[in-house]
Structure 1
Amino acid sequence: MERDFSEGQRGRGGGYTTKSYLKALEEGFIEHYEPGTIFQQDNAKIHRSYVAQRWFERHGIHVMEWPPRSPDLNPIEPVWRMLKRKLYELYPNLLHCGTSEADWKLFRECISEAWDALDQNKIDSIIRSMPQRVSETRKAVSSNLWPKVVIYGRGSCDDKGPMASQIIAVEELRKQGLIEPEDVSLLFVLGEGKGGVGMFAANNVNLSWETVFVLAELEQVRFPSSDTLGPSAFHCGEIADGEGYNILAPKCTAVCSVRVAKDLPRIEQLIEKNNLPPRKRTS
């Protein structure tokens, strides 16, 4: 869908309006619509406008009733996440893309190529999962499984939902006395889809961060040394896991080794002290 650059639209780059929405439907949807099919959309203002409603009536398209506050189960939401990841995987330099007409043309071309590169099997799997997801949601709502805090509506699975869950998790850990106020800090920025302007701005406020890695601690350990063979040496040869360069992985694995020069039991003791039980023993 293209932005509406007509006079009066918000922002330097224009905005999405009912006009641009209906143009997208006429160019990319109407020819594929099968009579009798129910059309689903969310409650964005451009979708619910009087002009949009009359357009659907004129074309005989039945639009699904969508409550104003509903769990965001639309299968397109996880597909948007897939598209974003694929886009920045293929074209990381888009983070520095401008707003000129040439930049918009390049951006649209990259979006199209990223979409074509998506795994259709994964998209089909998401669609097939909908009946089960709806059933599980109904089951949770009718029982005590439904959480006390529910994030509704647009962006609940990829924007405000993750933000709220992080804030709630930190607050719960703080109330339980498991962390101190200075142990954790959260930084939320805007503009991910517009060149990462929020993150660039955050880089200019001279924030400092402390991240604790067990591997970094192991590199500081003084392992036993031999007069003949020299010091026992710690090596980390491979770190794996994670989904992308811009996504914090919940866990990762590392393949490490210690070239033992002396006192294997003492080396094992030092490793276990750092909560890393040895998997293989060599001497």
Structure 2
Amino acid sequence: MVWGGISPYGVSPLVFLNGNQDSRKYCATLDQALLPFAAEMYGEMATWVYKQDGASTHRATYTRSWLTQKGVRTMDWGAKSPDLNVIENIWGIMACRVYLRQRQFDTVDQLKEVIEEVWATISGELLESLCRSIPRRMLAVLDGQGRATKY
């Protein structure tokens, strides 16, 4: 499993996760990757809001307490809202670009290397475009009464 964060201004470092994840491991990932990334992108904690889906590790009491303790403001978000979650578009683009190379990976390390190379190609222009699309996405979901949209 891979964790990565995005903002209109850039991408975080990727974190490759091993084994089953729980709230403590998730918070360790956030401490290792999200907090330094957010500090680099935005400086003060009060200037950004962390959007995560409704996965159980994200909703866990330990995670919510940790986020509060660290001063991280969050936005409630459903677990299955890909039309509104622009990082899902990034993961789809990543998968296409990784497998466009049309090769089998002999080791996990080879796959990780290519994933990191592709992650580094995610442009600021793409990130800005996806973030600007959020109001249109929200209207499309409302117009469709929650059904899937073109996004």
Q: Same fold (TM over 0.5)?
A: yes
Residue in structure 2 matching 1:78, options 89, 100, 106: 89
Q: Contact conserved, 1:86 with 1:118, CA < 8 A, in 2?
A: no
Where does the alignment leave 5 or more consecutive residues of structure 2 unmatched? Answer: 1-14, 39-43
Query: What amino acid is the match of 1:24?
Result: T
Matches within 5 A, 1:1-283: 1-4=15-18, 14-33=19-38, 34-36=44-46, 37-67=48-78, 70=81, 72-90=83-101, 92-94=103-105, 97=106, 103-141=107-145, 150=147
In 2, Cα distance between equivalents of 1:68 and 1:117:
27
Q: Give SS of 2:45's match.
A: coil
If the length of structure 2 is used for normalisation, what is the TM-score?
A: 0.71
Q: TM-score under structure 1 normalisation? A: 0.41
- Per chain length, whose mean CA-contact separation is higher, i.e. which structure has more relative contact order (CA < 8 Å, sep 6+)? 2
Determine helix, strand or coil for the equivalent of 2:84. coil
> Could you say what secondary structure the match of 2:100 adopts?
helix
Please give the alpha-carbon distance, in whole angstroms, between the structure 1 residues aligned to 2:78 and 2:121.
33
SS in 2 for 1:93: coil
Q: Does the 8 Å contact 2:55/2:79 carry over to 1?
A: no
Residues 23 and 58, structure 2, Cα contact 8 Å, conserved in 1: yes
For residue 71 of structure 1, report the CA deviation from its aligned partner: 6.0
1:84-103 residue CA offsets vs partner (Å, 9 max, x unmatched): 01111236223xx4xxxxx3
Partner of 1:236: none
In structure 1, C-alpha distance between the alignment counterparts of 2:79 and 2:114, rounded to whole Å? 33
Amino acid at match of 2:94: L
| Number of equivalent positions | 129
Aligned residues of 1:2 and 1:20 also touching (Cα < 8 A)? no
State the one-letter code of the partner of 1:111: I
CA distance in 1, matches of 2:25, 2:114: 20
Shift of 1:80: 0.6
Q: Which runs of 5+ in 1 are unaligned?
A: 5-13, 98-102, 152-156, 158-283
Q: Which amino acid aligns with 1:80?
A: W
In 2, the alpha carbon distance for the partners of 1:108 and 1:19 equals 24
- Structure showing the higher helix proportion among its residues: 2
- Deviation of 1:65 (Å): 1.6
Which one-letter code corresponds to 1:31 in the other structure?
P
Percent same amino acid among aligned pairs?
24
1:160 — aligned with what? none
Q: Give the C-alpha shift of residue 69 in structure 1.
A: 6.0
d(CA) in 2 for partners of 1:91 and 1:17? 34
Q: CA deviation at 1:70?
A: 4.6
Root mean square deviation of aligned Cα? 2.4
- What code does the residue aligned with 2:66 have? W
| Residue aligning to 1:224 | none
Aligned-pair distance for 1:42? 0.3
